[in-house]
Amino acid sequence: MILIDIRTSCQNRKYVMIGAMQLKAKKSASLLEVLEELFPDSSKTTLRSWIKNGRFIRDGQLLRSPQIVISKGTELSFESKVKHSSFGIKILYEDKDIVVVQKPAGLLSVATHFEEKETVHAALKSRGVAKRVLPVHRLDRETSGVMVFAYTERAKEGLKKQFHLHTMGRQYLAVLEGSIEEKKGMWKSMLKEDANYFVSSHPEGKEAITHYKVVQRKGDYTAVQVTLETGRKNQIRAHASEAGFPVVGDMKYGATKNPLGRLGLHASLLSFIHPVTKKKMEFKSLPPPTFNRYFVRKNEASISRSVG
C-alpha cells in the first residue's frame, strides 16, 4: 500500500491509498460499528488498532476515531496489510467480492501435493482480509502475470461461468524460439494431458484454440501476443511447441534455449464483467524487465477498473 499526501493548502490535506481495498458501509453508524459488520471475524481490539493506525480513508480524509459517524453507502478505502510473506505478489484491485493480483514467475497459483504453503492462494489467505479466498483459474508456476480470485461463492461462480463461456479476455506475451514468418495466425488442436502431466494433441482431447500476433522478431527469437479462445492446461506451451516454436526456457516442451533465465510467458491482460457489480473490468500488466530486449514497452502497466 502506498499512501499519497496531497496538500491542497497548508491546513488541508487529502490522502489517497494506492492498492487499497474498497469497502461500502452497509448502515449508518459509528465507524467501529460499520467495521464490525464488514469484518465479522475481527475483534473490536483489532478494529480499533486498524483505526488508530490510519488504515481507513473517507473522501481523502484519514479516519482515526472509532466513534466518527459513517453514513450508509459511504465508500471507505482500507489498507489491507499482508501479515506474512507476499512472495512478490502485487495487488492490482480488491473489493469485498474479488481480488486481482500480479503473480511472479516461480510461484504456484494454488496448492498441490508437492507444495501447500508457497502459493498465491496461501499468501492471499494469510492476509486475513476475507473469510475465504476461492481460486477461479490458474497460471503455471513459471508464468507471471494477472490473476483473479474470488472472496464469495457468488463471485466465484460468476467468474467461472465467464471462463466456461470463453467470454473472459486473456492475453499473454511470449518469447518463442525460431522466427515465425506470418504476421498472425491460429493454432487449433485437441489437447489432452497424459499420465506424466504432459499436454499434447490427441484425438480424445479437448478443443484448444490459440491466436497469435507477431510483435517483434529478433535474431533466433520471435515475440508474440497471444489471445486464448479456450483455456486448456499448458495450452500456449503445447501449441507453440507443436508448431515448432517452443516458448524459450520451456525445456518440458522442447525448448533448447533460455535467454531470459525463466519461462518466456507472461499473462499481460485479463478482462471480465464484475460478477456482482456487472461493470466491465480490464487489468493490464507489463512483462518483467527481462523481456525488454524482445518487447518495446510503450506504456506503464495500467489498470482499468471500470470501462463502459
DSSP 85-108: --TT-EEEEE-SSEEEEEEPTT-B
Task: Determine the average pLDDT of the residues in 71-96.
Answer: 75
| Predicted confidence band of residue 115 (pLDDT cuts 50, 70, 90) | low
Task: Determine the average pLDDT of the residues in 68-84.
Answer: 75
Question: Is pLDDT of 19 > 80?
Answer: no
**How does pLDDT run across 122-164, given as a tens digit for each residue?**
888 887 776 789 999 999 989 999 999 999 999 999 999 999 8
Measured distance CA(225)–CA(238) in Å, rounded: 16
Residue 18 one-letter amino acid: I
Question: Is pLDDT of 301 > 80?
Answer: no
Question: Is pLDDT of 304 > 60?
Answer: no
Question: Is pLDDT of 25 > 70?
Answer: yes
Question: Is pLDDT of 268 > 70?
Answer: yes
Question: Is pLDDT of 30 > 70?
Answer: yes
Question: Is pLDDT of 1 > 50?
Answer: no
> What are the domain boundaries of the chain?
20-79, 90-291
N-to-C CA span, the chain: 27
Domain 20-79 grouped into CATH 3.40.50.720: no
Q: What are phi and psi of 207, to 5 degrees?
A: -60, 135
| Predicted confidence band of residue 2 (pLDDT cuts 50, 70, 90) | very low
Q: Is pLDDT larger for residue 156 or for residue 56?
A: 156
Question: Is pLDDT of 182 > 70?
Answer: yes
Counting residues of the chain whose pLDDT is more than 70, the rounded percentage is: 83
Question: Is pLDDT of 7 > 80?
Answer: no
The half-sphere exposure of 175 on its side-chain side, counting CA atoms within 13 A, is 25
The predicted pLDDT at position 302 comes to 40
Measured distance CA(207)–CA(187) in Å, rounded: 11
Options 41, 95, 97, 140, the catalytic residue = 140
Comparing 15-19, 157-161, 221-225, the range with the smallest average pLDDT is 15-19
**Whole-Å CA distances, 209 to 2, 140, 187, 204, 265:** 40, 18, 6, 16, 17
Calculate the dihedral angle through the C-alpha atoms of 64, 68, 69, 70, rounding to the nearest 10 degrees. 0
Q: Is pLDDT larger for residue 124 or for residue 113?
A: 124
The predicted pLDDT at position 122 comes to 87
> What is the pTM for the complete model shown?
0.69
Comparing 5-14, 205-214, 257-266, the range with the smallest average pLDDT is 5-14
Domain 90-291 CATH (choose: 3.30.1490.20, 3.30.365.10, 3.40.50.300, 3.30.2350.10): 3.30.2350.10
Residue 41 a catalytic site member: no
Write out the three cell numbers for 45: 481490539
Across the chain, mean pLDDT equals 83
The predicted pLDDT at position 101 comes to 93
Q: Mapping DSSP to helix (H, G, I), strand (E, B) and coil, where does residue 254 land?
A: coil
Closest to 120 (Cα-Cα) out of 151, 88, 168: 88
Instruction: Please identify which residue in the block is written with the cell numbers 503445447.
Output: 238
Measured distance CA(307)–CA(31) in Å, rounded: 31
Task: Determine the average pLDDT of the residues in 156-174.
Answer: 94
The predicted pLDDT at position 306 comes to 39
